[in-house]
């Protein structure tokens, strides 16, 4: 085997190793990745019930309701185009308020509602999650 063949063999082995590592990484992330949707995106998208996603937008004014069990809260998330009903069982962050930005991690259930596992609220008056700010600005630009 000549030196040229040895180098070619090493290059092919390195390429195969990189491809194998990429496939393993993609396989591992398949179950962990959660895509971000605004309510209007979620209304258009064909998201299968049970798929883990992130939902972001503003909490609609007057929509937050505590259910009689005392730990479940329901509210509406809006991006000023569409709204999505959300149910969350647990303690809400202190900064969670009507009219504020939030991101929820959870799953879509049959009927288009969203069941959140985690709620992330803004941390000051001017902060808005970058994904939500981008979607809200995009919607405002389209509506003008």
What distance in Å separates the CA atoms of residue 32 and residue 50, rounded to the nearest whole number?
Answer: 13
Hey, is 104 helix, strand or coil?
strand
pLDDT per residue over 60-108, tens digit each?
999 999 999 989 999 999 988 899 999 999 998 888 888 888 999 999 9
Tell me which of 34-43, 72-81, 120-129 is least confident: 120-129
Q: Is the model's pLDDT at 138 over the cut of 80?
A: no
- Residue 32 is predicted with a pLDDT of 64
Residues 71 and 65 sit within 8 Å (Cβ to Cβ): no
Long-range CB pairs of 138-141 (<8 Å, 24+ gap) are 139/38, 139/40, 139/79, 139/80, 139/81, 140/80
Residues 73 and 116 sit within 8 Å (Cβ to Cβ): no
């Amino acid at each position: 085997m000549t030196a040229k063949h040895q180098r070619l063999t090493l290059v092919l082995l390195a390429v195969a190793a990189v491809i194998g590592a990429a496939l393993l990484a993609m396989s591992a992330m398949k179950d962990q990745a959660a895509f971000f949707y605004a309510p209007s995106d979620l209304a258009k998208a064909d998201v299968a019930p049970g798929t883990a996603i992130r939902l972001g937008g503003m909490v609609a004014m007057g929509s937050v309701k505590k259910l009689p069990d005392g730990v479940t809260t329901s509210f509406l998330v809006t991006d000023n185009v569409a709204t999505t009903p959300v149910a969350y069982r647990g303690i809400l962050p202190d900064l969670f308020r009507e009219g504020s930005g939030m991101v929820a991690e959870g799953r879509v259930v049959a009927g288009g509602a969203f069941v959140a596992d985690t709620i992330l609220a803004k941390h000051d008056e001017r902060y808005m999650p970058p994904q939500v700010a981008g979607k809200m600005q995009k919607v405002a630009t389209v509506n003008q």
